[in-house]
Every structure is written in structure tokens, then in C-alpha cells.
A and B are shown apart, each in its own frame.
Chain A
Amino acid sequence: MNRAFGPRPAGRGPTLAQTVDVDPAEQTTVLARRSAVVQLSLAEGRRVLLHPVVLGAVALLAAPWLIEAVTAPAATSYRVLTQESQWIQIPMLLLAAATYLAANLAGLRPFRSGTVGTEGTASMPRWHRSAAQVMGLLGVAAVSSILTVGRLAQLAAQQGAAGRVMPAELLTVPALVLFCGVLGLVVAQLGRTLMVSALILALLTIVVLLLVFAMSDLGWLSLVAYDDPFSPGPTPSELVGRPAGWHVFYLLSASGLLAVVLFWSGGLPRPAGVTGGVLCAALLITTAGAQLAPVSEELVAARQQARTAPAAQQICEIRGSITYCAFPEFDSRIDAWDQVARGALAAVPPSATPHALTIRQRLQVPSTGGRFGPPPLAEWSADDLAAGTPDTVPVSTRWATGGNRVSDQRAVLDLALVLADRLVTGQGLAPEVAPRCGAQGAIVLWVALAADPAVGAALDTVNQASSSSATVSASVLDSSAGYFIGERETTLGTALAARPEARDLVHAHWDQLTDPATSVDEAAELLGLPSPDPITADWAWCR
């Protein structure tokens, strides 16, 4: 204190009190109070941060991430950081709820300990103590930021990470932690019992959950908005268009308004309270409105172009006879696609290998009326011709080679099957599901499985989540287009994949095996494998 308020050395200019012409004694009191508020905020911040419920929440958030990083790093590969920036807000709601409870218990301390009646005798006004409690929440908000950034850094460092970290989405996390903390303090001040606080938390959970499920724009008026531009799949970050920045200001202005209510109940001078309240309310209304503004027409057009004619937005990389075209943020996936594509080409005889092949990344096809939508094949074809890359093979913005992300691993299987079908049948993608029966179906599956071990692993994961693992079906890019490989064909194809000499056998009988007229039984005989059991069901796509 002496160092801060003692006489200044000569020649250093006027003192603060002389400059603003205020009574030095009064100035000293103001500065001392500010210092006391800062000291109290440090103490309150430490108490909230070290509260068991906050520590428990941090542990429950961080432990699975650490365990995953050590024991199953493949599960965190091929993540789209644009999506992850948004999705991380959902688990961080746990820390926000924990902060609410810890702050609430701190706010209830005078009521629970029975000292509320003696507060008037304290030298520090109550709203100063409330201000210290609000400032103390910055510590836990900082911890939430560290957790968020740490998790995103972990995902960004993994193989095949794509997309871009969205700073505004990350800033939402500390903003919502701060909001929940201030709400906990206000509820403590007004409700005065833990019972009220807990029931308000339950009510808040319901509101957030309903708005998340409703998936309406009103979600932006809640804590986290689940308005999902990633449905039905990841998109380049410039096409996302979420008003995340406005949402951060919305949460901060809501926190500010709650803080003013808290300070007001603690004796904040009327002019400051009115000014702060009006300012925060104006900000809240402005940011709420800005969040609910419709998406610009330019963005809608850009999204549509990316779905139907993405060539102009993509970069291409030529590797031998294969050209890979991807949205720039997804070029880290080319290595993985190349591994599958080279494996598929190596599985077929050189005579069946095309001179040139282009694999082009495409966005998932939105569903129509709850059913798989038709792929825009005509638009894709025109775009490919204009780009000088006809008959491209589509590949999704999704990808995964480990973990349990079924829809992402399905993309691996889809690429392998589309490629295998192109190489075996020579046909392009049809608007409806194409059944591949007979020897041809078994060979399509074998080429796909021989392409890369990741394809077999993906098939296992998909089968585990599926009601039927006896057949293989693929819906390319979640559209109505795809392939169906029958039960007997699947049995023969997987049995063939288990044999080390399969490649030589298939190459020796390639023409017969890829002939649509060759049956499964004939193929089994050619390959020296037992014929699969006959189908007993009344109806089957492939018999």
C-alpha cells in the first residue's frame, strides 16, 4: 500500500490527486476500495475455480480427451475443425453448469451462513463484493478457453485435419461460462436458496434442450445455437455463415445486463445502474436481432454452387494418372484418397486400368422429404466437362479411419465402392441404387476391400451399426445414388478378400468374373471357393 499511495519522487510530475483536483484522502479511499475489490475477486475466483464441482467438470472434460489422445489417436484424425469449433460448445455446457452451481453457492454464502443480516456493517458496499464475484468468474472462463483451444489444437495436429478453426465459435465457450456464472450469482441474490437455484438450472436445461432439438433460429437466443449448416455434412468454412460473432456479443451483453441487476440489488448508484442497464439492454436487443438476420443471398448462391458446380472453388493435384480435386481447406485428405485409389487400381489388371481418372470432392446431398435426395448428376457432369475432368469419381467431405464415427467411415467405404464399380463395370454413378449381382458384385466388393485395409475396417464399423451385415449397401454422399451387393455376393467377395492369392486368381479370370452374365456359383468355381448358401428368403434383390 505504501508503495502505491506514498509520495512520489520529485521530478515525476503531479500526483493523481493534483491532476484531477480531488481531495487526496477521498482519492486514496477510492483506490483502496478498487484494490480491495481486485483482491477479493482473486480470492472469489480461486474459490470458484477450486470448487469440487468445477474441478470435477474440468476433469470429466479433459480426461476422455487425454485418454483418447494416448490410447486411440486414430479416433481423432480426419476431423473438420470448422465443425469441431461449433460442436465443442456442447460438452463445455458441463463446465458452464458447474460454474453456475459454484458461483451460486458462493452467492448463497451469506444466506447459508446467516451473516446476511450483518452485511451492512461491512466497510465495502455489497455491490463491490458482487463485482468482485463477477470478476472472479474470469478465471474459470479463462480455463474454459484453455480447454477449448487445447482440444482444437489436439485435433488440428492429427492426420487429415481439415477446415478452419472459427475464433468466434471458440469465444462462445468462455462467454457462456461467464453468462452462467453471473446467472448463478443473480439467482443466489434473488432466490436466496439452493432449491430455487437448482430448479432454475433444471429449467434452463430444458429450454436449451428444446431449442437444440427444435433446430430453429430461436436457438440463437439460447446459450448454444444448433442451427447446423453442416447438415448433411461438412462444408468449407466460407460457406458456413453462422452469426457466431454476434452470439458472443449477445452472451456478453446478457451477462452485462445480469451483472447490472446484481449490482443494483447490492446498492449500485442509480445513475450508473440506469446507464449500464440501458447500454446492456440496447446491446442485447441489437445482437439478438443481428443473430436472427437471414443468410445473405450471396452465401445461399455460393452454397448452391458448391453443391452443384464446385470445380471453380477447388484446387486440383495431379499424382500420376489420378487427379484429385478438393476444396482448399480439405487438401490434407488427398493422401488418404490416394492410398485407396492406388490400392483399387493395383487390384485390377493393367488392361482394366483407365488412362486418367479424376476424384473430385463433393458436398453431401441434402435429403428431400425425409428421404435420400437425388444427386445433381447433370450439373456435376456439366461442371466436370467445363473443368476438363469428365466422369469424375465423387468423394465426400467426410472421412475417418478409426474410432466409431460411422457416417465418416462410411465415406471411406463409399469411395472404394464407387471406384471399384467404375473399374469393374465401367459405369458411372446412376441416380438410383444400382444392384450389383452375380460374379460382378463379388468382384466389386473384393476390389474395394483390396484397395486399403481402412476399407475393411470401415465395413466392420458400418456393419456393427447396421441391422444387416450380410449385404453391403452404400448411399453415395447420402443421396439416392449408390450400390447394393447381395448376400451371396458379399459372402464370396469377403471370402476372396481373405485369400492371399486372390489377386492372381482374379486377374486370370478377369473377363469371365466381370461379365454380368456370370453367376456367383460359376465365380466360386473359377476361384476355387465354396459356393455360398442359396437365398431362402421370398424376395431378394440378388438371388
Chain B
Amino acid sequence: MSQRWVPDLLDSVRRTTVLTPLLVSSTLGVTLLAALLTLGVRLAPMDVASTLRFSLAVTLVGATFLLDDPARTSTQALPVSPARVAAIRLAFGTAILTVSWIAQLLLAPQLSNSSLPFDPRPFVIEAYGIVVWLWVGAAWRAPHDRKGSGASFAAPALLLLFVALMLLPDSVALFVDGDSPDLVASRWRWAVVLLTGVISLALLLAPSRRRRRS
């Protein structure tokens, strides 16, 4: 099968994807850490981890709009399934999020006032573990919303989700410090969160394809 239509499809989906909020919030997330560095703020490793998570929360505000489809009536007419369109949108969003998140992970260690280096690598998975569930929420809400927007659910959910994660008891904690003995176990918990999120998202997006074929 010819692949010449792929660039056209990608371009078409890109133009109908709400990327501006994610671009803005990604910039804001990086700006927060850069501003703290510029102000000369230096923090204990525990506070660096909290600040990194704050900047992540700011970044993810824009991600909640990714599955909103202002051109729903047009994209429904595309010769590809809505699930595939959504997958392309998610790929665009993941790419932008990744660039911003890498920048934040590189800036965070500079904020540490400790002689021990702050290792940002264990924090990598947290962004993806959270964002996938925000997209699950948005994908679940969108069909019930008058304008097909899942962000009206996902944006408020982001606020509550972050605080709920902070309040989890130690035995099931997801937000742990970089030097915590529970760090490795919590990363496994994050892996479960990410995996179940990906499966849930796939299940939520798949029925629309079946409906389309029927």
C-alpha cells in the first residue's frame, strides 16, 4: 500500500489537534524551574522533587485539552478511524510533553543545595503515568460533553489527582523522595499505573472504531 497519504494525514490531524495549550503549559513548566534558578533559589533534595512535580502539574494543564476536537464534524469524515486519529494526537502530545519534561529533568538538579547529586532519572515515569490517566479521563468524558470536550473533566481532575497522589499512605506512595528506601518499589507501582492507564485508554478509544465499522 502506498504510504504517500501518511504525511497528509499527519498534517491534517496536526491542524485539528489542540496543541497550543500544551505548548504554552510546557513552556510555563520549564519557565518555573528556570525562574527559580535565576532567582538563586536552592532547595533540599526533597523540595527539589516537590518543585519538579509542581512544574509537571503546570505542564500537564495543557495536555488535558489534547483529545478535544473542535473540528469533530470534519475529522469524522476522514478515511481513517477516530481511534487512529486519537493515537496520532496522543503521539504529538507525548512528543511535546517529552521535550518539556526532559528540559525540566535537566534543570531540576541545578536547584539542589545538597552536596549529593540529585538524580532525576527515577522521576521520568511520573509524567507519563499521570498524563495517561488524564487522557483516560478526557476520553471517557468527551462523548458525554455537549461540545465533545474531555478537558472540562480532565483539567479539574488534574488538580485533585496531584493532591491525592501527595496524600497516599507510605505503603502505596507514588510521590517519594529520590533518596527514599521505597523509591524502587514506588517505581514499580508507577509502572503498573502507566500500564493500566495505557490499557484503559486503548479500551476507551477502541469501541468508537467498532461503532464506525458497524
Contact = CB atoms under 8 A, between A and B. Distances in A.
Interface string A79-104: 00000000000000010011001100
Given A105-B152, A112-B146, A205-B54, A98 B62 contact: no
A213 interface: yes
B159 A98 contact: yes
A143 B71 CA distance: 40
Interface stretch (A49-57, A415-423, A445-453): A49-57
Interface string A396-427: 00000000000000000000000000000000
Nearest to A114: B146
Given A64-B167, A209-B32, A202 B156 contact: no
B41 interface: yes
A315 to B, nearest CB: 37
A385 interface: no
Interface string B10-53: 00000000101100110010011001100101000000000100
A194 B61 contact: no
Interface in A183-207: 194-195, 198-199, 201-203, 205-206
A97 B163 CA distance: 12
A60 B160 contact: yes
B167 A201 contact: no
Contacts of A202: 25, 28, 58, 61-62
B151 interface: yes
Contacts of A194: 65, 149, 151-152, 155
A213 B37 CA distance: 11
A209 B159 CA distance: 15
A311 to B, nearest CB: 36
A199 B39 contact: no
B28 A210 contact: no
Contacts of B157: 53
A199 B32 contact: no
Contacts of B167: 60, 63-64
A1 to B, nearest CB: 34
A113 interface: yes
A199 B24 contact: yes
B147 interface: yes
Q: Is the interface of B mostly helix, strand, loop or mixed?
A: helix
A214 interface: yes
Nearest to A101: B156
B31 A206 contact: yes
B164 interface: yes
B57 interface: yes
A208 to B, nearest CB: 10
Nearest to B157: A53
Interface in B162-178: 163-164, 167
Nearest to A64: B167
A213 B57 CA distance: 17
Interface string B94-111: 000000000000000000
B28 to A, nearest CB: 5
A113 B64 contact: no
Nearest to B147: A112
A199 B156 CA distance: 12
Contacts of A101: 155-156, 159
A98 B156 contact: yes
A98 B162 CA distance: 13
A194 B152 CA distance: 7
B112 to A, nearest CB: 14
Interface residues of B, number: 33
B197 to A, nearest CB: 19
Nearest to B152: A194
B35 A205 contact: no
Interface in A490-535: none
Given A94-B159, A101-B156, A210-B35, A198 B54 contact: no
B151 A53 contact: no
A25 B28 CA distance: 56
A199 B61 contact: yes
A53 B58 contact: no
A540 B171 CA distance: 37
B58 A113 contact: no
Contact of A195 (B18, B28, B156): B18
A56 B160 contact: yes
Given A53-B156, A113-B146, A214-B41, A195 B65 contact: yes
Nearest to B155: A198
Given A56-B160, A57-B160, A195 B151 contact: yes
A199 B97 CA distance: 16
B163 A60 contact: yes
Contact of A210 (B18, B39, B160): B39
A210 B32 contact: yes
Contacts of A60: 160, 163-164, 167
Contacts of A94: 159, 163
Contacts of A97: 159
Given A53-B159, A210-B36, A205 B164 contact: no
Contacts of B151: 194-195, 198
Contact of B21 (A57, A195, A205, A209): A195
A206 B58 contact: yes
A203 B65 CA distance: 17
Contacts of B159: 53, 57, 94, 97-98, 101
Contact of A205 (B39, B57, B65, B160): B57
A213 B31 CA distance: 15
A198 B58 contact: no
Contacts of B18: 195
Contacts of B58: 202, 205-206
Nearest to A215: B41
B64 A198 contact: yes
Given A57-B160, A214-B39, A201 B61 contact: yes
Contacts of B24: 199
B26 to A, nearest CB: 10
A198 B39 contact: no
12 contacts: A53-B156, A53-B159, A53-B160, A56-B160, A57-B163, A60-B160, A97-B159, A101-B155, A205-B58, A209-B54, A210-B32, A213-B36
Given A194-B65, A203-B28, 16 more contacts: A53-B157, A60-B164, A60-B167, A63-B167, A102-B156, A105-B152, A112-B147, A198-B21, A198-B62, A198-B65, A199-B28, A199-B61, A202-B61, A206-B28, A206-B58, A210-B39
